[in-house]
C-alpha cells in the first residue's frame, strides 16, 4: 500500500498533466471510424472535447454515458448500453472505444460485463467493435491513459494477453510492422508513415490520427473524419514481423509491444522517441534491421543538412540553459536532442508519476552523466517555476501551459508537445526524425536570436 | 446524405410554423447523444471563476481542475488568483481512505500561501461517492483561518449545469450579508451574471456610473469578496445571463427584500432598455433618467456609422446560433437583425419552456429551434438552411469551419468584449470579418468557378 497519507502533502497548483480519459480519447481518435465513449458524467467528455479541439482545431466528438444520481447509486450498465445504442444509430461507427472515469471506477462498474451483456442482447446483429480501457483519473496521467488505450486495443485485437493462446509459431507477414509512436503530433505521424514506406515496410500505426485530427474541409456532412488505423490492420497486428514502440519511460511498464513479443514472438524494437540525431539514428537502424534495406538517400540528406545546421548554429546555443517539461517520454527525447546541440537541460519536469524519468534521462546520457540536470517527477508548474527561477534559464521548451512561467521569467517559450492552445498549428509541429529535429533546432535558435535582437539597442538586421 | 434525429431527441427540436409548438427541454442529456453541455461542476465553476481574490480549490482527481485552468477571458483589475488552478489531485489511496485530510492540508497550505479573502471548495464526482464531509472541513478551516470557506456542491453527476449554477448561487449567497454597508446610497445596484469577459463588466459599470447609479458589486466579473459581502446593501439586483443568477436574485429578494430585474447587455436594443429600466427604477431621481437618455444617444450615435458600413455587406446573410442560456439567444437574434441578417437556427443548452416560447415569437418562419443539441443536429441544420455564420463556443467552431461557415465566438473563452454599445460594434466587426473573409471561396462547399460547373 502506498504510504501517500503519511508523506507531506502539497496541493497541486497548475498541473503539468491531464487526466487519463483524455489520453484514451486521443488514442481512440486514431482508429478508423471510431467514436469514443466516456463512462461517467457529461462534463468529462465535454471538457476533454473542448481541450482537444482547442489544440487540434478539428471536430472531436466524444460520447458520454451521462451519469445521474440514480446511475451512481444503481450502476451505469443501463446508461452505457443506451449510449452504445445511440452512438450506433447516429454515427454507425466501426469501433466504439469505451474509457471509464473516476466516477464509474469508484462505484465499481464492471464495464467488460456490460459489454458482454450488450453483445449478448444483440446476438445475430453486426455490432461495431467495442474496446474497453480502464482509466480512472485518480490513477496516472493523460499519457498513461493514452498508453493503456493502446495496450487495450492490442490486447483486444490479438486476443491477448491471458487467453492462453501464446503462439510463437504464428504466421509472419514479411514487411509488416507495428508501430506504436506514442503521443506525438499528426505531422509526426505522417512523417513516420513516409519513412516506413520508404523502407518498403507496410505499417500498422496505433494510433494514427494523422488525418482524423489534421484533415481538410468537408464538401458535405461527415459523422467522423476519414483516416485512422482500420479494423483489418488492427486484426493483422498479431501477424507483423516486428513492432517498433517509442518511449524509454513507457518501456518500464507493460506495453502493447511487449505483449505481442511475449505472446506472439513478434520482435520488439523499443526505442526512445526519435528526437534529435542520436535517437533518430537508433530508429533508422531498427528500420534497416527489419527491412534489410539501407536508409534511403533522402533521409541521409536530411541528416546531413541537420548536422550542417547544428554546426552553423552551435555558437548561438552552446551553454544555453533550458527548462523542459511535458509528458515524460517527450521530455526524455528533447533532453537527448538538447544534449547533442550543447544546450543544458537544467530542469526537466513532468506531471508523470512513473518514477522512471530520471532513470530514463540517465540512460540517454551516453556517459550516464546527468550532472547539472535537475529532474522533477510528479511535478506541477508551480514547482517547476520555483526551481526554474533559481537556475536562471535562457529558454523554456514545452506546451502552451508553461507560457505564464516563461513570461514571468522573460525568456522565450518554444512550443512543443500538447497542448498548444495559444498558437495555430499545434498539429503540424514536427518533433520526430531528422526533419523534426531540424524544425525544433531552427525554432530554438531563432527564438534566441529574436530575443537578443529585440533587446539590443542597435537592432542589427544582419547576424 | 439525409441526417436523421435520434427518436428521443425529436421533441427537443422545433421548426417554426410547421406544427403546433410543443418542445421538451430541461431534461437530462441523452446518453450517447454527444451533448454540447458540460456538468454540474462546470456550472458552478463558470459562475464563481471570475472572483479574483478568492481561492478556488477543486476537490477531486486532476482533470476537473486542469480543464478549467485559465481558460476564460474574465479580466481582473487587481489580483489574478482566479487564473491559477488548484486541485487536491486525489489518487487511488484517497479514494480508498477518503480525501478529507488532503482537503484540509490543501486549504491550510494554500490560504497561507495566497492570503485569499475567501475560499471556494468545489466537490467533483467522486467526492460525493467516497463520502468526504467537505462541509465540516470547510467549517474547521474557516474557523482556524478566519476567512469564509465555502463548499460548492458541484458533483458532476448530480444534475445538469443548471444545478451547478444553483450551487454557486448558494455559495455567493452565503458570502452576502457580512459586509459593512456604510457609503451605499439609495441609487445602487448589484450587477449579476456579468463575468467581465474581455472587460465587459467595466464597460457596463461605466454606463451605470455615468448615469449616477452606484454599483455595489458585480457578480462575478472582476469580482471581489469584499464587494459581494456588501451586496445586500444594494437597492436593486440587475440580472444578466438569467439562467445562472436568477436563483441568487430570488434568494436575495427573499432574505433582504431586494427587487430584481432581468436584462441583457448584448445589442443596441437590449443594452438601451436595460439602462432605461434601471434608470426607471430610480424614478425618485429624474436626473438619472436624463443622464441615461443623453448617454444612450451619445453612445448610439458613436457606433451607428460603423454598424451601417458592416450592415451593407451582411444584409440577407443567414446566421445560426447555439449558446448556453436562451436569454443570450434573444439578444443575439435582435442584434443580428440589426445587421440585416436572418437567423435560421437558434438553440441553447439550458433553455426553459418559457424561454423557448419567447424564442419562437422572436424567430421568423422556418427557423429551427433546438434544445441541448449535438454536433450532428447542428451540422444538419446549418447545411439544410445554408448558414453563412455560426455563433457559439469552441466546441461549435469546428462544425462551422469544416463546412465552410464563418464563426463568431460568443462564449467565455473569447477575449473581445461584445457587451454594451461598443460591444455591438465589436460584434458587427467580428461577424463581418468572418462572413466576408475571402477564404470561403476556396472551401469545398463554397468553391466558386472551379467545381460543379
Contacts of A47 in chain B (CB under 8 A): 38, 42, 63-64, 67-68
Structural domain contains residue B451: no
Of B84, B93, B445, the CB nearest to A4: B93
The pLDDT of residue B447? 81
The pLDDT of residue B451? 45
Structural domain contains residue B394: yes
CA distances from B296 to A379, B203, B265, B300, B301 (A): 53, 13, 13, 6, 8
Quickly tell me which residue has 482500420 as its cell.
A230
Task: Verify that B272 and B333 share a domain, yes or no.
Answer: no
Q: Which of A377, A369, A375, A412 is nearest to A393 (CA)?
A: A412
Quickly tell me which residue has 451547478 as its cell.
B164
Residues forming beta bridges with residue A36, ordered by sequence position: A62, A97
Task: Verify that B262 and B346 share a domain, yes or no.
Answer: no
Please indicate whether, in this complex, the C-beta atoms of A47 and B445 are within 8 angstroms of each other: no
Contacts of A107 in chain B (CB under 8 A): 129
Q: Which residues of A270-304 are buried (b: 16+ CB within 10 A; e: fewer)?
A: bbbbbbbbbbbeebbebbeebbeeebbeebeebbe
User: C-alpha angle with apex A229: A227 to A231, nearest 5 degrees?
Assistant: 115
Residues forming beta bridges with residue A31, ordered by sequence position: A229
**Residue B67: closest CA among chain A residues belongs to which residue?**
A47
Please indicate whether, in this complex, the C-beta atoms of A138 and B90 are within 8 angstroms of each other: yes
Q: Judged by CB atoms within 8 Å, which residues 399-438 of B form the interface with A?
A: 399, 401-404
Number of Cβ pairs < 8 A linking chain A and chain B: 246
All domains in chain A, ordered by first residue: 20-158 (3.40.50.1980), 176-215+224-297 (3.40.50.1980), 310-455 (3.40.50.1980)
Structural domain contains residue B75: yes
SS3 B267: coil
Please indicate whether, in this complex, the C-beta atoms of B395 and A106 are within 8 angstroms of each other: no
Determine the residue among A24, A34, A46 to mutate to test chain B binding: the one whose Cβ has the most chain B Cβ atoms within 10 Å.
A46
Say if A51 is an interface residue toward chain B (CB within 8 Å): yes
Q: Supply the CATH number for residue B198's domain.
A: 3.40.50.1980
Distance spanning both ends of chain A, measured CA to CA = 59
Q: How confident is the model over B207-211, as a mean pLDDT?
A: 98
Q: Which residues contact B88 (CB under 8 A, 6 or more apart)?
A: A11, A12, B57, B58, B59, B60, B94, B99, B102, B103, B106
The pLDDT of residue A460? 86
SS3 A38: strand
Please indicate whether, in this complex, the C-beta atoms of A47 and B68 are within 8 angstroms of each other: yes
All three cell numbers of B90: 486525489
SS3 A171: coil
**Residue B86: closest CA among chain A residues belongs to which residue?**
A13
The pLDDT of residue B285? 97
Please indicate whether, in this complex, the C-beta atoms of A63 and B33 are within 8 angstroms of each other: yes
Structural domain contains residue B419: no
The pLDDT of residue A162? 45
Structural domain contains residue B301: no
Average pLDDT, chain B: 95
Q: Which residues of B320-333 are buried (b: 16+ CB within 10 A; e: fewer)?
A: bbbbbbbbbbbbbb
Contacts of B34 in chain A (CB under 8 A): 45, 61-64, 90
Q: Which residues of B249-275 are buried (b: 16+ CB within 10 A; e: fewer)?
A: bebbeeeeebebebbbbbbbebbbebb
All three cell numbers of B268: 443596441
Report the share of chain B in percent with pLDDT over 90. Answer: 91
Q: Which of A130, A155, A264 is nearest to A206 (CA)?
A: A155
The pLDDT of residue A366? 66
Final residue of a domain: which of B112, B141, B175? B175
The stretches in chain A having pLDDT less than 70 are 1-8, 160-170, 366-369
Structural domain contains residue B45: yes
Per this entry, what is the length of chain B?
Answer: 453
Please state the separation of Cα B337 from the chain's center in Å: 22
The pLDDT of residue A440? 98
- The beta strand positions in A28-69, using DSSP E, are 34-39, 62-64
The domain in which residue B319 lies consists of: 315-414
The pLDDT of residue B267? 96
All three cell numbers of A127: 455490432
Q: How confident is the model over B258-277, as a mean pLDDT?
A: 97
Structural domain contains residue B450: no
Please indicate whether, in this complex, the C-beta atoms of B403 and A66 are within 8 angstroms of each other: no
Q: What is the torsion angle, in degrees rounded to the nearest 10, for the CA atoms of residue B218, residue B222, residue B228 and residue B231?
A: -20
The pLDDT of residue B21? 85
Shortest Cα distance from B37 to chain A (angstroms)? 7
All three cell numbers of B378: 447542428
CB–CB of B244/B166 below 8 Å?
Answer: no
The pLDDT of residue A164? 45
Q: Which of B152, B219, B217, B148 is nearest to B181 (CA)?
A: B217
| Count of CA atoms in the C-beta half-sphere (13 A) of B322 | 28
Task: Verify that B333 and B399 share a domain, yes or no.
Answer: yes
Of A18, A41, A223, the CB nearest to B125: A41
Shortest Cα distance from A12 to chain B (angstroms)? 5
**Residue A84: closest CA among chain B residues belongs to which residue?**
B32
What does A398-416 look like in DSSP terms, one character per residue?
A: E-GGGHHHHHHHT--EEE-
Q: What is the torsion angle, in degrees rounded to the nearest 10, for the CA atoms of residue B126, residue B132, residue B136 and residue B137?
A: -80
Task: Verify that B243 and B352 share a domain, yes or no.
Answer: no
- What is the total count of domains within chain B? 3
Name the pTM for this structure: 0.96
Task: Verify that B211 and B153 share a domain, yes or no.
Answer: no
* Antiparallel, parallel or unpaired: β B342-348 and B368-371: parallel
Q: How far apart are CA B186 and CA B89, in angstroms?
A: 46
Q: How far apart are CA A220 and CA A214, in angstroms?
A: 17
Q: How confident is the model over B24-35, as a mean pLDDT?
A: 92
Per this entry, what is the length of chain A?
Answer: 463
Please state the separation of Cα B261 from the chain's center in Å: 17
CB–CB of A296/A213 below 8 Å?
Answer: no
Say if B58 is an interface residue toward chain A (CB within 8 Å): no
Of A13, A69, A404, the CB nearest to B158: A69
Task: Verify that B64 and B150 share a domain, yes or no.
Answer: yes
Please indicate whether, in this complex, the C-beta atoms of B61 and A19 are within 8 angstroms of each other: yes
Edge to edge, the sheet with strand B236-239 lists B214-220, B188-194, B236-239, B260-262
Structural domain contains residue B278: yes
Task: Verify that B171 and B192 share a domain, yes or no.
Answer: no
ipTM of this predicted structure: 0.96
Say if A67 is an interface residue toward chain B (CB within 8 Å): yes
Final residue of a domain: which of B296, B326, B348? B296
Please indicate whether, in this complex, the C-beta atoms of A404 and B102 are within 8 angstroms of each other: no
DSSP A229: B
Task: Verify that B169 and B215 share a domain, yes or no.
Answer: no
All three cell numbers of A43: 462534463
Q: How far apart are CA A349 and CA A326, in angstroms?
A: 7
Q: How confident is the model over B365-386, as a mean pLDDT?
A: 95
Q: How far apart are CA A42 and CA B74, in angstroms?
A: 24
Task: Verify that B239 and B363 share a domain, yes or no.
Answer: no
DSSP A127: P
Q: How far apart are CA A252 and CA A350, in angstroms?
A: 16
User: C-alpha angle with apex B65: B79 to B418, nearest 5 degrees?
Assistant: 60
The pLDDT of residue B1? 61
- The beta strand positions in B101-171, using DSSP E, are 118-123, 149-152
All three cell numbers of B162: 443548471
The pLDDT of residue B449? 55
Determine the residue among A7, A21, A43, A46 to mutate to test chain B binding: the one whose Cβ has the most chain B Cβ atoms within 10 Å.
A43
Quickly tell me which residue has 513478434 as its cell.
A266
The pLDDT confidence band at residue B242, using thresholds 50, 70 and 90, is confident
The pLDDT confidence band at residue B241, using thresholds 50, 70 and 90, is confident
Task: Verify that B339 and B369 share a domain, yes or no.
Answer: yes
Q: Which residues of A348-371 are buried (b: 16+ CB within 10 A; e: fewer)?
A: bbbbbbbebbeebbebbeeeeebe
Quickly tell me which residue has 489511496 as its cell.
B93
Task: Verify that B166 and B252 share a domain, yes or no.
Answer: no
Q: How far apart are CA A396 and CA A322, in angstroms?
A: 6
Final residue of a domain: which of B140, B175, B210? B175
Distance spanning both ends of chain B, measured CA to CA = 21
Task: Verify that B324 and B285 share a domain, yes or no.
Answer: no
CB–CB of B88/B55 below 8 Å?
Answer: no
Q: Judged by CB atoms within 8 Å, which residues 86-125 of B form the interface with A?
A: 86-95, 97, 101-102, 105-106, 109-110, 124-125
**Residue A15: closest CA among chain B residues belongs to which residue?**
B66
- Burial class of A242 by CB neighbour count within 10 A (0 to 12, 13 to 18, 19+): buried
Q: Judged by CB atoms within 8 Å, which residues 78-117 of A form the interface with B?
A: 79-80, 82-87, 89-91, 101-103, 106-107
The pLDDT of residue A134? 98
CA distances from B199 to A401, B77, B223, B307, B422 (A): 23, 9, 12, 21, 11
Amino acid at each position: 500500500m502506498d504510504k501517500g497519507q503519511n508523506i507531506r502533502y502539497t496541493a497541486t497548483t497548475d498541473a503539468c498533466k491531464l487526466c487519463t480519459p483524455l489520453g484514451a480519447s486521443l488514442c481512440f481518435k486514431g482508429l478508423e471510424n471510431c467514436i469514443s465513449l466516456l463512462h461517467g458524467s457529461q462534463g468529462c467528455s465535454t471538457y476533454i472535447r473542448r481541450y482537444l479541439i482547442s489544440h487540434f482545431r478539428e471536430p472531436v466528438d466524444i460520447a458520454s454515458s451521462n451519469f445521474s444520481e440514480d446511475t451512481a447509486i444503481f450502476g451505469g450498465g443501463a446508461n452505457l448500453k443506451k449510449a452504445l445504442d445511440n452512438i450506433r444509430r447516429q454515427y454507425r461507427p466501426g469501433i466504439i472505444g469505451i474509457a471509464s472515469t473516476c466516477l464509474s471506477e469508484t462505484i465499481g462498474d464492471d464495464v467488460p460485463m456490460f459489454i458482454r451483456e450488450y453483445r449478448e442482447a444483440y446476438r445475430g446483429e453486426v455490432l461495431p467493435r467495442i474496446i474497453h480501457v480502464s482509466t480512472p483519473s485518480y490513477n496516472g496521467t493523460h499519457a498513461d491513459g493514452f498508453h493503456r488505450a493502446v495496450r487495450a486495443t492490442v490486447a483486444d485485437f490479438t486476443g491477448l494477453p491471458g487467453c492462453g493462446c501464446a503462439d510463437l509459431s504464428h504466421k509472419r507477414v514479411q514487411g509488416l510492422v507495428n508501430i506504436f509512436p506514442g503521443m506525438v503530433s499528426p505531422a509526426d505521424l505522417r512523417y513516420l508513415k513516409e519513412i516506413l514506406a520508404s523502407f518498403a515496410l507496410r505499417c500498422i500505426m496505433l494510433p494514427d490520427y494523422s488525418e482524423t485530427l489534421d484533415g481538410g474541409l468537408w464538401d458535405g456532412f461527415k459523422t467522423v473524419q476519414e483516416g485512422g488505423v482500420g479494423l483489418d490492420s488492427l486484426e493483422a497486428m498479431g501477424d507483423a514481423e516486428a513492432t517498433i514502440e517509442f518511449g524509454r519511460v513507457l518501456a518500464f511498464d507493460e506495453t502493447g509491444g511487449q505483449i505481442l513479443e511475449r505472446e506472439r514472438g513478434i520482435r520488439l524494437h523499443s526505442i526512445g522517441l526519435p528526437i534529435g540525431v542520436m535517437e533518430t539514428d537508433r530508429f533508422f537502424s531498427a528500420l534497416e534491421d527489419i527491412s534489410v534495406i539501407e536508409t534511403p538517400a533522402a533521409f541521409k540528406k536530411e541528416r546531413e543538412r541537420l548536422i550542417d545546421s547544428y554546426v552553423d548554429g552551435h555558437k548561438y546555443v552552446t551553454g544555453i540553459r533550458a527548462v523542459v517539461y511535458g509528458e515524460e517520454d517527450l521530455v526524455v527525447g528533447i533532453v537527448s536532442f538538447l544534449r547533442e546541440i550543447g544546450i543544458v537541460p537544467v530542469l526537466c519536469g513532468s506531471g508523470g508519476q512513473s518514477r522512471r524519468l530520471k532513470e530514463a534521462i540517465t540512460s540517454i546520457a551516453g556517459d550516464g552523466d546527468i550532472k547539472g540536470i535537475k529532474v522533477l517527477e510528479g511535478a506541477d508548474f508551480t514547482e517547476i517555476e520555483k526551481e526554474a527561477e533559481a537556475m536562471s534559464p535562457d529558454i523554456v521548451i514545452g506546451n502552451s501551459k508553461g507560457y505564464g512561467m516563461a513570461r514571468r521569467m522573460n525568456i522565450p517559450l518554444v512550443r512543443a508537445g500538447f497542448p498548444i492552445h495559444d498558437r495555430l498549428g499545434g498539429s503540424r509541429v514536427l518533433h520526430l526524425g531528422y526533419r523534426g529535429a531540424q524544425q525544433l533546432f531552427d525554432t530554438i535558435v531563432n527564438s534566441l536570436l529574436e530575443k537578443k535582437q529585440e533587446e539590443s539597442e542597435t537592432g542589427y538586421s544582419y547576424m | 446524405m439525409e441526417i436523421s434525429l435520434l427518436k428521443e431527441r425529436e421533441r427537443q427540436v422545433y421548426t417554426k410554423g410547421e406544427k403546433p409548438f410543443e418542445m421538451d427541454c430541461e431534461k437530462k442529456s441523452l446518453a450517447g447523444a454527444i451533448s454540447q453541455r458540460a456538468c454540474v461542476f462546470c456550472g458552478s465553476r463558470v459562475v464563481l471563476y471570475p472572483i479574483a481574490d478568492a481561492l478556488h480549490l477543486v476537490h477531486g482527481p486532476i482533470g476537473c481542475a486542469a480543464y478549467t485552468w485559465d481558460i476564460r477571458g474574465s479580466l481582473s483589475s487587481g489580483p489574478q488568483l482566479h487564473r491559477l488552478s488548484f486541485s487536491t489531485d486525489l489518487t487511488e489511496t484517497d479514494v480508498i481512505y477518503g480525501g478529507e485530510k488532503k482537503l484540509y492540508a490543501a486549504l491550510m497550505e494554500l490560504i497561507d500561501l495566497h492570503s485569499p479573502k475567501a475560499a471556494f471548495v468545489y466537490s467533483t464526482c467522486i467526492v460525493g461517492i467516497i463520502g468526504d464531509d467537505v462541509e465540516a472541513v470547510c467549517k474547521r478551516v474557516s474557523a482556524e483561518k478566519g476567512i469564509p470557506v465555502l463548499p460548492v456542491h458541484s458533483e458532476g453527476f448530480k444534475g445538469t449545469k443548471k444545478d451547478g449554477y444553483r450551487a454557486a448561487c448558494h455559495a455567493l449567497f452565503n458570502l452576502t450579508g457580512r459586509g459593512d454597508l456604510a457609503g451605499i446610497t439609495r441609487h445602487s445596484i448589484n450587477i449579476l451574471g456579468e463575468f467581465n469577459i474581455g472587460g465587459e463588466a467595466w464597460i457596463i459599470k461605466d454606463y451605470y456610473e455615468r448615469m449616477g447609479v452606484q454599483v455595489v458589486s458585480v457578480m462575478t466579473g472582476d469580482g471581489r469578496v469584499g464587494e459581494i459581502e456588501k451586496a445586500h446593501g444594494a437597492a436593486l439586483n440587475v440580472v444578466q445571463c438569467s439562467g445562472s443568477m436568477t436563483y441568487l436574485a430570488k434568494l436575495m429578494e427573499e432574505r433582504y427584500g431586494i427587487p430584481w430585474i432581468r436584462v441583457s447587455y448584448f445589442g443596441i436594443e437590449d443594452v438601451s432598455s436595460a439602462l432605461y429600466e434601471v434608470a426607471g427604477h430610480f424614478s425618485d431621481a429624474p436626473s438619472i433618467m436624463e443622464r441615461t437618455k443623453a448617454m444612450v444617444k451619445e453612445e448610439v450615435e458613436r457606433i451607428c456609422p460603423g454598424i451601417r458600413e458592416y450592415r451593407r455587406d451582411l444584409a440577407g446573410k443567414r446566421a445560426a446560433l447555439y449558446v448556453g442560456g436562451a436569454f443570450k439567444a434573444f439578444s443575439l437574434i435582435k442584434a443580428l437583425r440589426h445587421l440585416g441578417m436572418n437567423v435560421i437556427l437558434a438553440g441553447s443548452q439550458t433553455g426553459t419552456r418559457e424561454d423557448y416560447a419567447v424564442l419562437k415569437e422572436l424567430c421568423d418562419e422556418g427557423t429551427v429551434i433546438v434544445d441541448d443539441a449535438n454536433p450532428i443536429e447542428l451540422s444538419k441544420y446549418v447545411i439544410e438552411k445554408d448558414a453563412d455564420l455560426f455563433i457559439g463556443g469552441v466546441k461549435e467552431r469546428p462544425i462551422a469551419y469544416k463546412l465552410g461557415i464563418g464563426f463568431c465566438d460568443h462564449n467565455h473563452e473569447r477575449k473581445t468584449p461584445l457587451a454594451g454599445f461598443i460591444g455591438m460594434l465589436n460584434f458587427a466587426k467580428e461577424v463581418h470579418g468572418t462572413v466576408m473573409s475571402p477564404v470561403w471561396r476556396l472551401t469545398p462547399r463554397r468553391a466558386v468557378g472551379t467545381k460543379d460547373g
